[in-house]
């Protein structure tokens, strides 16, 4: 009687891999967290404080794991800036870059500064100065073209 339930749970997980992620940024770990006042262009203090994370910072968005050495979450604007970033997608590839600017509302962003994209097998897929990322649909776009994920390795 347990076997059919186990099989069904596995089937659900396989189907979930092909669905869009929720695109929600979740903090997994940070060595240190600091709340800092936020100011608008006029120098007026804003309602919510920004949150800065330092050390071995880890976020998760859908299937994507994001590691960086520091990040700032701009709470009033739903924006995140992460530095020295590695975005790992266990199904497709790994992206390393100097910075990720992520919009929590649109669930998209841009990685910039010496971007390297590597397939799971270790082959370099592409390099660029910037890559647009849609972490809800797990889509990456370099310039006018797109990176097509390699076939999953066995």
CA distance linking residue 131 with residue 122, whole number of Å = 19
Q: Render pLDDT for 17-75 as a digit per residue (tens, 0 to 9).
A: 444 556 688 899 999 999 988 888 888 888 888 999 999 999 998 888 999 999 999 98
The whole-number pLDDT of residue 153 equals 55
The whole-number pLDDT of residue 122 equals 74
Domain ranges within the chain, ordered by starting residue: 26-146
CA 16 → CA 5, 13, 53, 64, 66, distances in Å?
17, 5, 30, 14, 20
The whole-number pLDDT of residue 3 equals 32
What is the pTM assigned to this prediction? 0.73
Rounded-to-10 torsion of CA 23, 64, 102, 46: 70
Domain covering 26-146 in this structure, CATH number = 2.60.450.10
């Amino acid at each position: 009687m347990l076997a059919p339930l186990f099989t069904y749970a596995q089937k659900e997980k396989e189907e979930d891999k092909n669905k869009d992620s929720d695109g929600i940024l979740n903090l997994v770990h940070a060595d240190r967290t600091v709340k800092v006042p936020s100011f608008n262009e006029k120098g007026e203090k804003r309602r919510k404080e920004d949150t800065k994370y330092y050390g071995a910072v880890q976020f998760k968005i859908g299937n994507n794991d994001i590691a960086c050495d520091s990040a700032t979450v701009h709470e009033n604007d739903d924006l995140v800036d992460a530095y020295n970033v590695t975005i790992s997608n266990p199904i497709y590839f790994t992206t390393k870059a100097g910075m990720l600017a992520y919009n929590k509302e649109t669930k998209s962003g841009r990685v910039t500064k010496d971007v390297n994209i590597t397939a799971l097998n270790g082959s370099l897929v592409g390099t660029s100065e910037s890559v647009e990322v849609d972490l809800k649909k797990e889509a990456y776009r370099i310039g006018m073209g797109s990176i097509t994920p390699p076939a999953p390795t066995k």
